[in-house]
């Protein structure tokens, strides 16, 4: 009996698998005059990295709708396929193969995390499909793979900006705490690498568990070393916890955060303890106070107002990485005039002066990121709001 029921179920499975192409409604890219262009996205919409993936997915949906309402890219309607990888590398791999072989997308936007991006980097390269990663790791674009690009700024630039500001403030002895994620470890490595160049001494550097709920123990150690500033390189929720713990411990020294602090919610979570936090960031969060002649201002304000109107939540710099990926793709398609994979890829590599949320992109064959040191701006928190550090 066991065997009979198994055979029945197995046959159903077989039938289901085999017949699903009939229901998949797959438009196998018919060469109509202006057929739809398929864009895939692998994002961590839920799961441990949802603070990245959720805004990214929302941003893409918003953008695609707008673009299609305006007639598509170069006349081609855009078909967006979002896959929720839940920050799991094996799912990212499976989805990448699905998007490349089955859906035959022109490009994949994402993934949200560095681990997933590295897992699918070779797959996209071998599958000759454009990958526009929204993750931060340097190794995504170094060594350069011809089809793989990334949109977030370099971690090293963030570290350099922090040190430059410290020099201006006369700080020379600091303590570093970092969360044990790829982002945290990467940032800590960059800090340690560039500190000597700027004459900063890292008196103590500690890595804590990113899910830790109380960091007074670690901060007590830093306090005991009489550091002149604390740098915290982590993701949520530790960013707010460090701020609160520091004030509760009576530490008055300045707190620097990484560009992972780019969401007003983290300021709210830290409440009064967030006053005076200094961090490098893209200009999105201070779009209102930018000078009128800033080339990014219009784009940033329109993104901010549309996103907040549509979703009722504050915009964050992470959604901006997906925004930039999309507009880069759009600019490349418009520049090359086709939706052929290799032509678009060549076009991406030659893009200059594309205005995005994270900065202005100048991509080349050796630089598949395209953002320079000036893509960052030093921000601070004042009266519960983000403002520029230098007025």
Partner 1 sequence: MPTSLATRDVSFEQFFQYFLSGITSGSMYAIIAIGFNIIYNTTGIINFAQGEFLILGGMIGISLSSFLPLPLAIAGAVIVTMGVGALIDFLFISWLKGPSVLRLVIITIGVSILIRESMLHIWDEKVRTLQHFTGTEISSLKILGAYISPQVLWVLGISAVIVVALNLFFRLTLVGRAMRACSDNRTAARLCGIRARRMVTFSFMLSAAIGALAGCAISPLTQTQYNMGAPMAIKGFTVAILGGLGNSTAAVIAGLALGLLEAFSIAVLPLAYIDAVSIAVLLVILFFRPSGLFGNREASALKEF
Partner 2 sequence: MHPRLRKYIPILAVLLLVVVIQLIISATGANYYLTQLTMSAYYSLVVVGLCLLMGYAGQISLGHAGFFAIGGYTSAVLTTVNLMPYADSSAVEVLERLGMVLERQDLYGNTLLSFSPWLACIAALLITAAIALIIGVPVIRLRGHYLAMATLGFGLIIYRIVLGTGFLGEADGITGVPGFPLFGLEVSGALSKRISNYYIAWVLVLLGMLLAMNLIQSRVGRALRSIHGSETAAQAMGIDTARYKLGTFVLSAVYAAVGGIFLTHYNGSIGPSEVTTMKSVRYVAIVAVGGMDNLWGALLMSILLNFLSLRGYFGSYDDAVFAAILLVIMLFFPDGLLRAPGLRNLAVLREKAAAALRSSRSRGAEDG
Min CB(42)–partner 1 separation in Å:
17
Residues 363/369, Cβ–Cβ less than 8 Å: yes
Interacting partner of 60 out of partner 1, partner 2, none (Cβ under 5 to 8 A depending on kind)? none
Contact map string, positions 163 to 202, toward partner 2, x by CB under 8 A: -----------------xxxx-x-----------------
Min CB(105)–partner 1 separation in Å:
26
Comparing CB distances to partner 2, the nearer of 188 and 321 is: 188
Comparing CB distances to partner 2, the nearer of 6 and 169 is: 6
Instruction: Give Cα 390 distance to the centre of its chain.
Output: 25
Comparing CB distances to partner 1, the nearer of 96 and 264 is: 264
Of residues 7-36, which lie at the interface with partner 2 (CB under 8 A)? 7, 9-10, 13-14, 17-18, 21
Contact residues for 328 (Cβ-Cβ < 8 A; gap 6+):
132, 149, 151, 348, 351, 354, 356, 361, 363
Point out which span in 90-98, 160-168, 238-246, 369-377 binds partner 2 (CB under 8 A).
90-98
Cis peptide before 355 (omega within 30 of 0): no
Query: What would you measure as the largest C-alpha separation in the chain, in angstroms?
Result: 80
Q: Answer yes or no whether residue 101 interacts with partner 2 by CB under 8 A.
A: yes
Q: Which pair of tokens denotes residue 221? A: 């150690």
What is the C-alpha to C-alpha distance for residues 242 and 248, in angstroms, rounded to an integer?
10
Element at 109 (helix H, strand E):
strand 107-109
Interacting partner of 89 out of partner 1, partner 2, none (Cβ under 5 to 8 A depending on kind)? partner 2
H-type helices in 137-211, by residue range? 155-169, 182-194
Interacting partner of 366 out of partner 1, partner 2, none (Cβ under 5 to 8 A depending on kind)? none
DSSP for 265-300 reads HHHHHHGGGGTT-EEEE-GGGGGGGS-TT-TTHHHH
CA-CA-CA-CA torsion sign (163, 168, 172, 177): negative
Q: Which residues bind to partner 1, rule: CB under 8 A? A: 46, 48, 50-51, 54, 180, 203-209, 211-214, 216-218, 220-221, 224-225, 236-237, 240-241, 243-244, 247-250, 265, 269-273
Point out which span in 121-129, 282-290, 316-324, 355-363 binds partner 2 (CB under 8 A).
121-129
Q: Answer yes or no whether residue 115 interacts with partner 2 by CB under 8 A.
A: yes
Number of residues that bind partner 2 (CB under 8 A): 52
What is the C-alpha to C-alpha distance for residues 389 and 378, in angstroms, rounded to an integer?
6
Comparing CB distances to partner 1, the nearer of 74 and 206 is: 206
What is the C-alpha to C-alpha distance for residues 237 and 251, in angstroms, rounded to an integer?
20
- Interaction site with partner 2 (CB under 8 A): 1-7, 9-10, 13-14, 17-18, 21, 45-46, 83-84, 86-91, 93-95, 97-98, 101-102, 113-116, 118-119, 121-123, 125-127, 137, 143-145, 180-183, 185
């Amino acid at each position: 009996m066991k065997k009979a029921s198994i055979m029945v179920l197995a046959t159903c499975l077989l039938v289901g698998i085999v017949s699903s192409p009939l229901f998949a409604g797959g438009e196998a890219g018919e060469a109509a005059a202006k057929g739809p262009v398929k864009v895939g996205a692998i994002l961590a919409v839920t799961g441990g990295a949802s603070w990245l993936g959720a805004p990214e997915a929302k941003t893409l949906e918003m953008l695609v709708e707008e673009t299609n309402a305006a007639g598509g890219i170069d006349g081609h309607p855009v078909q967006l396929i979002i896959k929720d990888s839940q920050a799991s590398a094996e799912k990212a791999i499976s989805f990448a193969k699905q998007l490349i072989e089955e859906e035959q997308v022109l490009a994949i936007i994402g993934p949200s995390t560095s681990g997933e991006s590295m897992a699918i980097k070779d797959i996209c390269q071998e599958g000759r499909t454009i990958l526009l990663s929204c993750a931060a790791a340097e190794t995504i674009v170094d060594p350069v793979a011809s089809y793989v690009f990334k949109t977030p700024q370099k971690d090293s630039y963030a570290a350099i900006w922090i040190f430059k500001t410290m020099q201006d403030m006369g700080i020379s002895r600091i303590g570093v705490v970092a969360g044990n994620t790829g982002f945290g470890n990467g940032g800590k490595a960059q800090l340690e690498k560039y500190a000597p160049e700027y004459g900063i001494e890292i008196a103590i550097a500690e890595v804590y568990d990113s899910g830790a709920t109380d960091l007074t123990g670690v901060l007590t150690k830093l306090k005991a070393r009489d550091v002149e500033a604390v740098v915290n390189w982590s993701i949520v929720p530790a960013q707010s916890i460090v701020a609160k713990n520091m004030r509760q411990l009576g530490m008055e020294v300045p707190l620097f955060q990484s560009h992972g602090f780019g969401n007003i919610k983290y300021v709210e979570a830290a409440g009064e303890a967030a006053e005076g936090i200094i961090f490098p960031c893209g200009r999105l969060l201070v779009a209102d106070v930018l000078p009128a002649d800033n080339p990014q201002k219009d784009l940033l304000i329109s993104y901010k107002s549309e996103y907040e109107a549509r979703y009722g939540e504050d915009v964050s710099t992470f959604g901006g990485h997906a925004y930039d990926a999309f507009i880069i793709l759009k600019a490349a398609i418009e520049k090359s005039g086709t939706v052929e994979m290799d032509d678009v890829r060549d076009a991406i590599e030659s893009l200059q002066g594309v205005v995005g949320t994270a900065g202005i992109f100048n991509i080349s064959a050796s630089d598949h990121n395209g953002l320079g040191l000036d893509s960052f701006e030093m921000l601070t928190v004042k009266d519960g709001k983000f403002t520029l550090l230098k007025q």
